[in-house]
């Protein structure tokens, strides 16, 4: 019987740093609720460090590196502009519009890494977890963009929150909480979409959350099974040889 596990340790485990960074970025956002310029800039620096993470993963793909660098730099500049003009509608448009393609690009690089891998390693598992968190992150500015556009066009909110008065600017931090509640299909009901576009976006995120976990589990299990069979064959050849 083969004693070694089919789950292999890659050397080095670079994805653990990506996962930890993604978790930190998505959990320290309450620190920015005070609106302080300093905390906003520090948070932006943490988020910008995802550029380095993406480049490390895509170091052999120059086109991806260029794309990540351009999108990351664009978002970082827009975030600084937003931090200096937090109450301006155009600044919110700029920040939301710049961060969405940046997040999608980082997520894409990680997904390509996962599905290009032929073996289940710790890095693959870490990358899969990071992608799940990033999916929730993508919908934070998406909801913010929907809310901003709706309010500018109609004067009403696209979402209803028990902590936000009608007509009040919807804090993006509330969307960070709402996005992960939606992604995991918990649905506490304290924040609700009220427009058709908002409801459609929420539905899409819920479906993606369920679909991703199903697909990624199938992928990892199939790789794990294939590795186990390969290990058994090698072991048999060794015994008979």
Compute and round to an integer the Cα radius of gyration of the chain.
21
- Taking the domain 15-240, which CATH number applies? 1.10.287.70
pLDDT tens for each residue of 198-241: 999 999 999 999 999 999 988 888 887 766 655 555 645 565 65
Instruction: Measure the CA–CA gap between 134 and 53, rounded to whole angstroms.
Output: 13
| pTM for the whole structure | 0.85
Asked if residue 33 has pLDDT above 70, the reply is yes
The residue extents of the domains of the chain are 15-240
What residue has token string 């990033």?
Answer: 134
pLDDT tens for each residue of 88-130: 999 999 999 999 999 999 899 899 888 888 888 888 999 999 9
**Cis peptide bond upstream of 12, omega within 30:** yes
* pLDDT attached to residue 200: 97
CA angle, 32 then 35 then 37, to 5°: 90
């Amino acid at each position: 019987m083969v004693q070694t596990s089919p789950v292999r340790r890659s050397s080095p485990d670079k994805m653990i740093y990506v996962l930890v960074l993604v978790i930190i970025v998505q959990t320290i956002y309450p620190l920015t609720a005070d609106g302080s310029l300093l905390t906003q800039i520090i948070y932006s620096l943490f988020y910008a460090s995802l550029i380095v993470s993406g480049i490390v993963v895509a170091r052999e793909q120059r086109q991806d590196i260029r794309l990540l660098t351009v999108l990351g730099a664009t978002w970082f500049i827009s975030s600084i502009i937003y931090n200096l003009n937090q109450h301006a509608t155009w600044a919110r448009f700029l920040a939301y519009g710049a961060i969405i393609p940046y997040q999608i690009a980082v997520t894409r690089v990680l997904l390509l890494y996962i599905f290009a891998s032929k073996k289940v390693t710790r890095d693959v598992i870490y990358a899969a977890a990071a992608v799940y968190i990033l999916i929730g992150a993508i919908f934070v500015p998406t909801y913010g963009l929907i809310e901003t556009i709706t309010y500018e066009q109609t004067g009403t909110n696209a979402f209803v929150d028990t902590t936000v008065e009608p007509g009040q600017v919807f804090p993006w931090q509330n969307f960070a909480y709402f996005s992960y509640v939606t992604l995991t299909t918990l649905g506490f009901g304290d924040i609700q979409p009220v427009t058709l576009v908002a409801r459609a976006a929420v539905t899409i995120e819920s479906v993606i959350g369920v679909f991703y976990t199903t697909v990624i589990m199938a992928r990892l299990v199939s790789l794990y099974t294939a590795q186990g069979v390969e290990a058994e064959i090698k072991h048999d050849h060794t015994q008979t040889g």
